[in-house]
Amino acid sequence: MLTESERLARRRDFAAVYARKRSWAGPLLVLYVRRYLEEEAAVVTRRFGFSVSKKVGKAHDRNRVKRRLREICRLHSLDWCGGFDAVFVARSGAADAEYSALEAAVGHLMVRAGLRAVREAEPPKPGP
């Protein structure tokens, strides 16, 4: 589960992200991003918000999509560089999508947005 400091909860936080008008769209999701300046990025790492409308499906379908997106962001949070707020808006096909398809869509949008962190190559593990 994402911690409270990693979640967008207030309407004004979502509005600030939407106001930046930086978005990337895919077949399952739309990603809106607000980046922070380097000085601000030291204080705020990364925060995620999720918007799933009734177009996606009934309440249990919308909740499943949000749970999956939260888990994907939690598992991959170290893969992304810090200093941004991101809002994922689910499209109607997201409710029927497999977990792996949502995971691939999130990763693809984060790469397109330039938020993928460059990890140093891990040293090879010694063989037997």
- All structural domains of the chain: 4-112 (3.30.230.10)
Query: According to the model, what pLDDT value does residue 25 have?
Result: 95
Q: What are phi and psi of 55, to 5 degrees?
A: -65, -25
73: exposed, middle or buried (Cβ count in 10 Å: 0-12, 13-18, 19+): buried
Six-digit token string for 100:
């792996």
Chain centre distance of CA 106: 6
Query: According to the model, what pLDDT value does residue 121 have?
Result: 45
Low pLDDT (below 70) residues in the chain: 38-44, 117-128
